[in-house]
Amino acid sequence: MAKINNSAVVQKLIDELELSPAKDLIPTELADKILPVFQVNSETLEIQMKPKYKLWQDAALNNADKTLTVPDGHTYILKYGMINYTASADVGSRMLKLEVKDAAGNIIWYVLFAAEMAATDQEFFRVSALDYKSQAGLGDSVHVPIPHEFVLKEGYTLQVVEINGTALLADDMIVSFMVDDQAD
C-alpha cells in the first residue's frame, strides 16, 4: 500500500486540497487515489534490468548454412559469439558471411569473414564488438567485428553461411552466440 511521507508532496496536498493530516501523513486509502495524479519525484529514474544470458546456438553437423531466429516475445542483445568451421576434403575455397535480417527479411547488417579456408582446414572465429588485435593469447582464432550491444528483435534472423557453396552439406560448422534475452 502506498504511503506518502514526502513533505513537499504532503504540503501540496494540504495547500491544494485543503487537507489537514496529522503528523505529515496522508491516510493510505487517500494516497492510493491521489498518488497517480501527483509527480512524486521530478528526477529521472533509470531502471536497469538484470541480464538474462542465454546460449543461442546451432551445433548440427554437415551443414555450412546456419540460421538462428529470435523467437516471438523476445529481444536478444548480442554479446559475443564463437564459430568453429571444419572444412571437408571437398576441393575448393571457403568464405563465411554473417548476415542479420529484420522480421521482414531485409538485410540490416552483414560482415564477410577475413579468412578464406581450403579443404580440411579448421578455423575458429571470435565474433565480438571488442578489438582483439590488441588482445594477447587468442591463438589462431580470427576476429569478426559486430556492433556493440547489437539488438535483435523478435523475428530477426542471424545467418552464418559459406558463400562459395563449396561443400554446404559436407563441411561442419558450430555457431554459438551469447545473448542477453530481454523476454517481454
- pLDDT tens, 18-71? 665 554 455 666 665 555 554 445 556 566 668 899 999 999 989 999 999 999
- pLDDT tens, 73-86? 999 999 999 999 99
Q: Count up the domains in the chain and report the number.
A: 2
Nearest residue to 83 (alpha-carbon basis) of 58, 110, 62, 119: 58
On whether both 1 and 39 belong to a single domain, the answer is: yes
* Domain region containing 69: 53-181
On whether both 13 and 89 belong to a single domain, the answer is: no
Residue 6 grid coordinates: 514526502
Query: Could you give the count of Cα atoms lying within 13 Å of 24 in the half-sphere of its Cβ?
Result: 7
Q: Is the pTM of this model over 0.85?
A: no
The residue whose grid cell reads 578464406 is 116
Q: What percent of the chain has pLDDT above 70? A: 68
Q: What percent of the chain has pLDDT above 90? A: 46
On whether both 177 and 86 belong to a single domain, the answer is: yes
On whether both 57 and 93 belong to a single domain, the answer is: yes
